[in-house]
Amino acid sequence: MPGGQRPTIKTVAARAGVGRTTVSRVINGSTLVSDEARAAVLAAIAELKYVPNSVARGLVTSRTNSIALVIPESESRLGAEPYFAAVIRGVSTGLADTRTQLQLILVRDQGERDRLTASVAERRVDGVLLASVHEHDPLPALLEDMGLPTVLAGRRAPGETLSHVCADNVGGAHAAVRHLLERGRTRIGTVTGPMDMDVGRGRLQGWQDALRTAGARPEERLVARADFTEEGGRAAVRTLLDRVPDLDALFVASDVMAVGALSELRARGRRVPEDVAVVGFDDSFLARHTHPPLTTVRQPVEELGTTIARVLLREIADPTAPRQHLTLPTELVVRESS
């Protein structure tokens, strides 16, 4: 803005090519706005770093003492996936000795994304933690453009610019497949996570790297892509067994999908581990209660949650501090499924 002037609703409206009433409706989460107008207003807000008058007066000296943990997933995924509960526990631990309150926000559709954007624009929170990061999700870039401290559990891709904390997905998957190779398995398939997530791509890379290191070729017919759900794991294994009937091992990129994989193997009359050895990833409570108990890669999910909370608190306290890019180690836990 010229002369250091702060942008106003009028400025945002002019940049977006809409009326001031439309800008106000978008900020307040109204549904009485077309998708095109809403997108234009949100882009203008981010570009201009607009903050409403009612909030701007106190920004320099006051904080809300509140942060948001944003999970862009449905309630069913939140309830079915132990990962999210562990992240929430870890974040709570990271905030335990502070006065900071935690808001849990699910972003399931465009309306909820707009309300989150309005909340950020009005600085109702001091910072955001974002879990379940997808590569092309516009939310991280929007938060960055608006100047709000943001830390990711995971990352969009290698070279991520925002502060983030990851588990060693490539190394963990490599260890899992090396274990299967050491058990004498030669036809090792994999069930991946979504390919629009760095975690899905990283665990696939670890499978590929381990096979190449052993002098084997990672064939595409041994790969089935899924969605980190139990049913997705079951469907993927169904596909793999149809393609490769003599499959003798599976690396499954999450424990939840491994539960589905074990179910499908039983349905097809395959014994675990005698016919097909199985390794998962997470070491959630599910791994100890499958039949047989699941060999899996332990990732320190609660520690990840605690770490992202502490990194965010440091960024809130000093917005000029260098951003942190941390990778937490993983560990193979051997049980009866391999």
DSSP bridge pairs for 166: 327
**154 shares its domain with 216:** no
Last residue of a domain, one of 14, 35, 50: 50
Angstrom CA distances, 200 to 51, 70, 173, 194, 212, stand at 36, 20, 11, 5, 19
Position 76 in a domain? yes
Which pLDDT belongs to residue 161? 93
**135 shares its domain with 281:** no
Burial of 96 (0-12, 13-18, 19+ CB in 10 A): exposed
**22 shares its domain with 65:** no
**45 shares its domain with 61:** no
Dist CA 149 CA 217 (whole Å): 43
Position 336 in a domain? no
Q: Are 189 and 244 in contact (CB under 8 A)?
A: yes
Position 333 in a domain? no
Q: Strands 295-298, 249-252: parallel, antiparallel or unpaired by DSSP?
A: unpaired
**Residues of the domain holding 193:** 169-298
**77 shares its domain with 6:** no
Number of domains in the chain: 3
**125 shares its domain with 199:** no
Q: For 244-281, give the secondary structure using H, E and C.
A: CCCCCEEEECCHHHHHHHHHHHHHCCCCCCCCCEEEEE
**9 shares its domain with 80:** no
Which pLDDT belongs to residue 176? 98
* AA letter at 101: Q
Q: Are 283 and 254 in contact (CB under 8 A)?
A: no
**263 shares its domain with 304:** no
pLDDT (tens place) for every residue of the chain, 338 residues total: 554 567 888 888 999 999 888 887 777 666 678 888 888 888 888 888 776 654 444 444 457 889 999 988 777 777 778 999 999 999 999 999 898 999 998 887 777 777 777 777 777 889 999 998 889 888 888 888 888 899 999 999 999 999 999 999 999 999 999 999 999 999 999 999 999 999 999 999 999 999 999 999 999 999 999 999 999 999 999 999 999 999 999 999 999 999 999 999 999 999 999 999 999 999 999 999 999 999 999 999 999 999 999 999 999 999 888 999 999 999 999 999 99
**92 shares its domain with 197:** no
Q: What is the pTM of this model?
A: 0.81
Position 74 in a domain? yes
**173 shares its domain with 256:** yes
**294 shares its domain with 304:** no
Dist CA 265 CA 281 (whole Å): 18
Position 181 in a domain? yes
**DSSP per-residue letters across 207-255:** HHHHHHHTT----GGGEEE--SSHHHHHHHHHHHHHH-TT--EEEESSH
**45 shares its domain with 62:** no
Position 220 in a domain? yes
Which pLDDT belongs to residue 62? 58
Which pLDDT belongs to residue 29? 64
Position 334 in a domain? no
Position 147 in a domain? yes
Dist CA 139 CA 125 (whole Å): 15
Q: Which two tokens stand for residue 77?
A: 């995924």
286 DSSP 8-state letter? G
Q: Which of 191, 185, 257 minimizes the C-alpha distance to 224?
A: 191
CATH number at residue 279: 3.40.50.2300
